[in-house]
Structure 1
Amino acid sequence: MRIDCHTHFYPAGYLHALAAESEATTLQRDADGRMVLHYAGDYNVLAPAHHSLEARLADMERAGIDMAILSLTTPGVHGERPEVGERLARIVNDEFAEIQRRYPQRFRCLATLPLQSSEAAARELERAVRELGLVGAMLFSNVNGRPIDLPEFWPIYEAAEALGAPLVIHPTSPPFADHLADYRLVALLGFAYDTTLTAVRMVLAGVLDRFPRLILIQTHLGGVLPYLAERVQRGYRAYPELRGRLERDPMDYFREMYLDTVLFDPACLLLGLAFVGEDRLLLGSDHPHQVGDIDKAPRVIEELPIAPRAKQKILSGNARRLFGLDQISASVV
């Protein structure tokens, strides 16, 4: 069985509301007739599977993906005025709940939260999980330039911990995106930087001491966290202003995070596997973004020189456990 844990969808109601109400994004057609969503620092070219369930299911069928854990994606709703962001989040989550109801064997969904107000975000997380049955939420690596380890965001973590709801930390444009305007560097490098920065700040700020049962999933194989974590550990031990701030060694927290496999180089995947272990890697494709690959994502896992049991965990077993999917049949296609 294959469960894609990093894949994105724009519900129709969200796109309609975005076109009518958004002050932070624009949705237009390019010269080739494709829909393009522009937002601060970057843009997304919409493929059919971004907004058509029929196209999405066809892609999943072709690639042998049994289930998808859908999430929105950039730009989210946090760049809007608070009342607009809250309304857009409810639209997304209500439509995601309907997708789960219509296709219980094919889709589960992560809540979208109005992160410009942590109290409103915590309330929406509780509604999305308790009332709508969504399986967690997606947060962005910064909220309008604000790092999400700050205490102002802690009501979200308190709610997530109480609900047992996993939080996927997805990158967005870093605060210095103006320096990455050329060559699509926001997506190619800026996202990995912001993912890594957020993971390290969450640990060093003591968020995981304050919320020890919080479940965090870092996307894109944790950015460059597996590569640089030892340096952070070494610095924590060396610098007096850091040493002793935490209840445990920084590496302990890093290795309790989950990573998805949206980095398709086998050597990098083996590094990620060595870093967190076979119980904390989740299959991800980043489909249907231009830089995603729904076909290669499972294939590269199946071709790794690792035990079949480890492959099974990465392809579906870890997701089934983490998102409570044990009732899903392994023969859903």
Structure 2
Amino acid sequence: MTVPAPTVDVHAHVLLPEIEALVAGEPGLAEARALDARRNGPAALAVSGPMVRARFARLTDVAARLAAMDAQGVDVQLVSPSPSHYHYWAGEETAEKVYRLAGEATAAHCAAAPDRLRGLGLVPLQHPALAVEALDHALAQGLLGVEISSHAPGRELSDPAYEPLWTRAERSGALLFLHPFGCTLDERLDRWYLSNSVGQPTENAVALSHLIFSGVLDRHPGLKLIAAHGGGYLPTHIGRSDHAWSARADAGEGCAHPPSSYLKRLYFDSLVHDPHVLRELVRVAGADRVLLGSDFPFDMGTEDPLAALRAAHLPDADFHAVRGGNAAALLRKD
């Protein structure tokens, strides 16, 4: 008798107050928070504070997390630090303290329920020279890899300075979870929570395009990279990228194959908030490249990821692959 794969949510967060205590008063923090406030606008900040406080227990307490998972029908979560902990403004000394504390605290959180929680650490993308040792530190804690944003100040993911990180991640089999935090469109998105609803999928699309068009995925075909939010706008508009690649020498010089072909080398979570978009994501990336994701427990996620998956009316085999079969193999949770 075949035992069904567990239901695995690859997009779930943990809040680590000890990191915020660590960076309190550090030079650069006030400026970073002011930028965040400008990008989001006062109305969004007024809603976000109470929202996080209402979810604090699920973000920090393992018992509350497990109870919520049981209610959702989720067996296993891949837990990543809240992106608010990136702190890419920090200097080298503080950045090293942040990634070490993030890895150790996330590992401790997951160790309270090792059969149900697996974790990711952080990498200070603003200091590429620290990236490999940060990844190694995360792996040494028993974590499966690291979470990264879509860019760092002054650096895109296509920057050659990140080549050692991609090499180490590929060779170690580490997971890379691409989750943006902050959109460089800034005040253009400072009303109606456009900073998130438009900004996040934009950042996903830009970051993935840098990885594709620069040839990073040609040089590192074995990377295990999961894109949050279904990869943003890119998968549903990949035809425009293919056209540019074939029509223009400047667009096609960096990668060997049509951009759409690289979607089948990436992984995507299912958090797209539209069953038709989810079906299209499965079509263009392949059912073996889409993983259940909820953005637990934030309000821009889904309280019922399985219901969202069922709404796409995928073939039975594809449904179970996305529900947990793909992730079970990726997380080594057979």
Indicate whether the TM-score tops 0.5. Answer: yes
Equivalents in 2 of 1:225, 1:52: separation in Å? 35
Equivalent of 2:192, from 183, 197, 203? 183
2:3 paired residue number: none
Residues 216-251 of structure 1, C-alpha deviation per residue, up to 9 Å, x if partnerless? Answer: 211111101122111100111001223354222222
Partner secondary structure for residue 108 of structure 1: strand
Give 1:178's aligned amino acid. E
- Alignment correspondent of 1:113: 123
Q: Give the alignment partner of residue 87 of structure 1, picking from 75, 93, 97.
A: 97
On the 8 A contact 2:169/2:175 being kept in 1, the answer is yes
Q: Is 1:100 matched with 2:113?
A: no
Change over 3 Å in CA distance of 1:299–1:132 after alignment to 2: same
CA distance, structure 2, for counterparts of residue 210 and residue 227 of structure 1 = 25
Question: What residue identity is the alignment partner of 2:128?
Answer: S
TM-score w.r.t. length of structure 1 = 0.88
How many equivalent residue pairs? 315
Q: Does 1:66 align with 2:71?
A: no
The separation in 2 between residues aligned to 1:121 and 1:245, in whole angstroms, is 24
Amino acid at match of 1:114: P
Residue 14 of structure 1 is matched in structure 2 by 19
Residue 304 in structure 1 maps to residue 316 in structure 2: no
Structure with the largest fraction of helix = 2
Structure 2: gaps spanning 5 or more residues: 1-5
Choose which of 7, 10, 21 in structure 2 pairs with 1:5. 10
Identity %: 27
- Partner residue of 2:326 out of 297, 318, 333: 318
Correspondence list, 1:256-295, <5 A: 256-295=265-304
Which of 221, 240, 247 is equivalent to 2:256?
247
- Mapped contact 2:260–2:284 kept (Cα < 8 A): no
Q: CA deviation at 1:134?
A: 0.6
RMSD value over aligned CA atoms?
2.1
Q: Using the alignment, how far apart are the partners of 1:128 and 1:311 within structure 2?
A: 31
Question: What SS does the corresponding residue of 1:224 show, helix, strand or coil?
Answer: coil
Matches of 1:181 and 1:281, distance apart in 2 = 31
C-alpha displacement of 1:52: 2.4
Letter in 2 for 1:5: V
Q: Deviations over 1:122-169 (max 9, x none)?
A: 10101211x211112111001125211111222211111111112111
- Following superposition, the deviation at residue 252 of structure 1 comes to 1.4
Ranges of 4+ aligned residues in structure 1 off by more than 6 Å:
none
Note the C-alpha offset of 1:78: 1.6
Unpaired segments of 5 or more residues in structure 1? Answer: 29-37, 327-333
For 1:88-237, what aligned pairs fall within 5 Å after superposition? 88-129=98-139, 131-237=140-246
Is the CA contact (8 Å cut-off) linking 2:242 and 2:258 kept in structure 1? yes
Compared CA separation, residues 19 and 320, structure 1 to 2 (3 A): same
Judge conservation of contact 2:221–2:265 (CA < 8 Å) in 1: no
> Closer, same or farther in 2 for the Cα pair 1:145/1:294, shift >3 Å?
farther
TM-score in terms of structure 2 length = 0.88
